[in-house]
Amino acid sequence: MQTIFSDLHARHHPGLEFYEGELKHYHDTPNRAQIVLDALRSAGCAAPSAPQDFGLDPILAVHRADYVTYLQRAYADWVGDGGIPAGVFPDVFPMRSAMRHGGRILRPTKPSALAGYYSFDLTAIIVEGTWEAVYHSAQCALTAARIVHAGAPAAFALCRPPGHHAHADLCGGYCFLNNASIASHWLASSTSTAKEGQTRVALLDIDFHHGNGSQDIFYSRDDVLFVSLHGDPSRQYPYFIGAADECGEGPGYGYTVNFPLEQGVGDERYLDVLAQACERVARYAPSYLVISLGVDTYQFDPLGDFALTSAIYPRIGALIAQLGLPTVFIMEGGYAIEQLGLNVAGVLSGFEEVRPS
Ligand code: OKP
Ligand code: ZN
């Protein structure tokens, strides 16, 4: 299958993040993308293609305009205000009770406070090249979506930074623009293959972490089904949302499905739950499937606590392929650098064995 990749991802390279109370090396390192590319080349995959440029419109269809403007200007404004060149860090977050005042919080002008207004944690650090990187990461997702829309059985967007934690107007968890949501919305808005007037898209998130941003973006919609398998958020990042009783609201009720899982999940248990998730996707009968592909479910991942072996990843790809749906794979997390390439290539090759392109 075709891989879409932009080397501009490397413009985003924060050195440090707050981790367990200390400044530690940033987990979303630029070499993650290179490692995946190398593994795909070794697996005999075709060389990657650069993304096409869809402009800002498909991004603005998912993200708030003021947030997008913030992402574009944050670094310059921060430095202009005397901020350290290492990157933008929030120093305050809105208090929940501020919402009492007419359901809104005041938008500050001070760059460090504005960063708190648009962030939910300290890990989405904005450096000089962040906007360029996230813009092209989103374009990779859109290009892969277009390839599948045009009839390919599958495509892989090697996105970096990842996206599934980003809300319409919030960054966090190394994410700024929600690549999988942007691709899903673009596909859901495409009319050429719409049966009965509406194109349905299933967004299946198999990153170790709950896709809080994707869930929130589609929470009240029935044209995008969001299904996620993840470490239980009562124990694991991103905390606060992602429980099994969150099912969507209004017209979206029943179209959010969460499988929060216990520590130490092994291969057979994971495949069993993934099969349940796939059954829900099949029942929805979507026109397209988008996969938020994280391999931080791997047993030695520093940010996860599952116990999956590398042998599971081709089986995951095969199970997804058995749905028989046009499928867009979007890269999310995976931080066990030595096995990252093998595990990602495993999912894609497992898919291709069932559905060759
Ligand atoms: C991004 B993705 C745990 C801190 C976690 C952020 C993790 C972001 C994961 N002590 N920090 O979903 O792979
Ligand atoms: Zn993750």
Q: What is the pLDDT of residue 297?
A: 99
Q: Which of 120, 174, 240, 295 to mutate to test ligand 1, by most ligand atoms within 8 A of the CB atom?
A: 174
Q: What is the pLDDT of residue 101?
A: 79
Question: Does 161 sit behind a cis peptide bond, omega within 30 degrees of 0 on the bond before it?
Answer: yes
Question: Crossing angle, helix 312-321 and helix 267-284, to 10 degrees?
Answer: 10
Residue nearest to atom 12 of ligand 1 (CA): 209
- Of the chain, the percentage scoring pLDDT greater than 90 comes to 94
Q: What is the pLDDT of residue 195?
A: 54
Query: What separation in Å is there between the alpha carbon of 292 and the centre of ligand 2?
Result: 10
Whole-number Å distance between alpha carbons of 304 and 206: 12
Q: Does residue 219 surpass a pLDDT of 90?
A: yes
Q: Which helix (H) or strand (E) holds 23?
A: strand 22-25
- Of the chain, the percentage scoring pLDDT greater than 70 comes to 98
Q: At 90, is the secondary structure helix, strand, or coil?
A: coil
Smallest Cα–Cα separation from 158: which of 53, 347, 5, 8?
5
**Which pTM value belongs to this model?**
0.97
Catalytic residue chosen out of the listed positions 13, 63, 149, 165 = 165
Q: What is the pLDDT of residue 192?
A: 58
Q: What is the largest CA-CA distance in the chain?
A: 58
Phi then psi dihedrals of residue 177, to 5 deg: -115, 135
Whole-number Å distance between alpha carbons of 302 and 312: 18
Kindly indicate the confidence band of residue 242, based on its pLDDT and cuts at 50, 70 and 90: very high
Whole-number Å distance between alpha carbons of 123 and 175: 8
Kindly indicate the confidence band of residue 191, based on its pLDDT and cuts at 50, 70 and 90: confident
Query: Residues with Cβ within 6 A of ligand 1?
Result: 20, 123, 162, 165, 173-174, 207, 209, 237, 294, 296, 303, 332-333
Average pLDDT over residues 100-125: 94
Query: What separation in Å is there between the alpha carbon of 295 and the centre of ligand 2?
Result: 8
Question: Does 251 sit behind a cis peptide bond, omega within 30 degrees of 0 on the bond before it?
Answer: no
- Could you tell me where the DSSP H helices lie in the chain? 31-42, 57-60, 65-80, 111-117, 130-149, 179-189, 212-218, 267-284, 312-321, 337-354
pLDDT in tens, 59-73: 999 999 999 999 999
| Lowest-pLDDT range of 64-73, 91-100, 187-196 | 187-196
Average pLDDT over residues 308-317: 98
Other Cβ atoms less than 10 A from the Cβ of 354: the count is 16
pLDDT in tens, 26-43: 999 999 999 999 999 999
- Amino acid letter, residue 310: S
Q: What is the pLDDT of residue 274?
A: 99
Kindly indicate the confidence band of residue 119, based on its pLDDT and cuts at 50, 70 and 90: very high
Token pair in block for residue 219: 């929470």
Whole-number Å distance between alpha carbons of 247 and 200: 17
- Give the angle 41-319-253 at the CA atoms, nearest 5°: 115
Average pLDDT over residues 227-241: 98
Mean pLDDT over the full length of the chain: 96
Token pair in block for residue 60: 């603005």
Query: 230 catalytic, yes or no?
Result: no
pLDDT in tens, 144-188: 999 999 999 999 999 999 999 999 999 999 999 999 999 999 999
Q: Does residue 102 surpass a pLDDT of 90?
A: no
Whole-number Å distance between alpha carbons of 155 and 3: 6
Kindly indicate the confidence band of residue 104, based on its pLDDT and cuts at 50, 70 and 90: confident
Between the alpha carbon of residue 85 and those of residues 74, 130, 319, 353, the distances in Å are 12, 13, 46, 47
Contact present, 134 and 109 (Cβ < 8 Å): no
Residue nearest to atom 6 of ligand 1 (CA): 173
Q: Which of 18, 165, 175, 293 to mutate to test ligand 1, by most ligand atoms within 8 A of the CB atom?
A: 165
pLDDT in tens, 324-356: 999 999 999 999 999 999 999 999 999 999 999
Contact present, 223 and 201 (Cβ < 8 Å): yes
Whole-number Å distance between alpha carbons of 133 and 334: 18
Residue 57 burial class via C-beta count within 10 angstroms: exposed 0-12, middle 13-18, buried 19 and up:
exposed
- Could you tell me where the DSSP H helices lie in 150-305? 179-189, 212-218, 267-284
